[in-house]
Amino acid sequence: MKIAVLASGSGTILESIVASDVQVSLVVVDRPCRAEEVAAAAGLKVVSMYRSEWGAAFDRKRYSEELAKALLNEEIELIAMAGFGTIVTEELHRHYEARILNTHPSLLPSFPGWHAVEAALNFGVMATGCTVHLATVEVDAGPILAQRAVAVFEDDTAVSLHERIKEVERDLYPATIKLYNDFLDRGSVGQYRNYPKINE
């Protein structure tokens, strides 16, 4: 299937996806970032959909419509969000229902949102982890496909804990993309309860 990766940052997740031999057809970025360099080095086509507005001035609906159009023009069939910093609306989801994957640095449903690592530390949990799930209009609330736990140490900071979560993420996310890609290739899209799951 034709896979697009949506990125905003350092590109380390994109690097792990490419290194795992997932066949990426397109990379989309919403701001200047190292992910563009990673894509270029891998010979991947990049679409730069830079945001020029933020906060209340940002037309999220129009951006999501334009993003959907760009992906559909490239005949993209599956989307993997890789640290994509823009929350998209139903204008994208209605074209790609059950075909948008995301990775999140916690064991969802615990600690959704942008500051998940800090929230886990502040709560005092003994373990957190990484979750790969289907993205839905409601942020970090889609069906869970894969999870892996990461221990929290007494001397952990948000930075040290997040780095260990990223190590897990760079292994778990590409493996789940491959599994889900195969699942879709078999024409198995149906009820959420039928989606394959990897729980470790």
Report whether 195 contacts 183 (CB < 8 A).
yes
Q: Which one from 104, 115, 133, 162 is the annotated catalytic residue?
A: 104
Closest-CA residue to 115 (of 159, 81, 152, 79): 159
104 catalytic residue (yes or no): yes
9 φ, ψ to 5°? -125, -130
> 158-191 b/e with 16+ CB inside 10 Å = b?
eeebbebbbebbbebbbebbebbbeeeeeeeeee
Measured over the CA atoms of residue 55, residue 59, residue 60 and residue 64, the dihedral's sign is negative
Q: How many other CB atoms are there within 10 angstroms of residue 66's CB atom?
A: 14
Q: Return the active site residues.
A: 104
